[in-house]
């Protein structure tokens, strides 16, 4: 009986963790949450792609960033948090892909969301040796700009083509092999 009561109390406490006062309302009023991963990234046909919203912000560790800096390159936008267990698996794999494709016209940008303290995000980057930049977006304002895509799920990844259009969208953890396949396909477009 004691274990059952303890389990019930723990479940109630965990349920309360997802509703913070600074939560950003995106899409249908939802908050950042974990979701089941998409099995593979589907590349959106070029004629059906929408232009990604413009955004800007402050990079972790300082400095400003504007989405205009992605112009002309294929870009991988990854919404992550140090508190996100799948991000701990996915982010080091993203670093491996980034190291292989950064000289091929591909940029990576992390978007650190819902972090209560920038130091946690900086420690995460240092721990995993991440070299690509990340915006510090504690209130999820950039995610709000992407409200037409599932950027409120963490992790989420959006691949942009060279024209700044959304070419692929992932929710949940992305397999390294699948990201490589999608990038090769988008890079191969005329």
Question: How far is Cα 105 from Cα 157, in angstroms, rounded to an integer?
Answer: 18
Helix, strand, coil % (nearest 5) of the chain? 35, 25, 40
Q: Hey, what CATH class is 23-187 in?
A: alpha beta
Question: How far is Cα 98 from Cα 133, in angstroms, rounded to an integer?
Answer: 11
Please give the mean pLDDT across all residues of the chain: 81
Res 153: pLDDT: 76
pLDDT in tens, 47-64: 999 999 999 999 999 999
pLDDT in tens, 9-28: 333 333 322 323 333 333 33
pTM for this entry: 0.79
- The domain segmentation of the chain, as residue ranges, is 23-187
């Amino acid at each position: 009986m004691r274990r059952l009561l303890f389990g019930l109390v723990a479940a109630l406490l965990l349920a309360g963790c997802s509703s913070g006062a600074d939560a950003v309302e995106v899409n249908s009023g939802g908050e950042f949450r974990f979701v089941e991963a998409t099995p593979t990234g589907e590349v959106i046909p070029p004629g059906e792609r929408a232009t990604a919203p413009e955004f800007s912000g402050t990079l972790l560790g300082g400095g400003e960033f504007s989405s205009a800096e992605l112009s002309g390159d294929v870009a991988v936008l990854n919404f992550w948090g140090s508190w996100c267990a799948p991000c701990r698996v996915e982010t080091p794999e993203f670093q491996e892909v980034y190291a292989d494709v950064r000289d091929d016209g591909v940029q990576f940008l992390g978007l650190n969301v819902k972090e209560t303290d920038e130091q946690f995000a900086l420690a995460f980057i240092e721990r995993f040796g991440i070299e690509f930049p990340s915006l510090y977006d504690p209130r999820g304002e950039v995610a709000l700009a992407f409200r037409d895509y599932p950027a409120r799920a963490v992790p989420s990844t959006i691949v942009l083509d060279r024209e700044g259009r959304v070419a692929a969208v992932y929710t949940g953890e992305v397999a390294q092999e699948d990201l490589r396949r999608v990038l090769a396909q988008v890079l191969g477009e005329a």
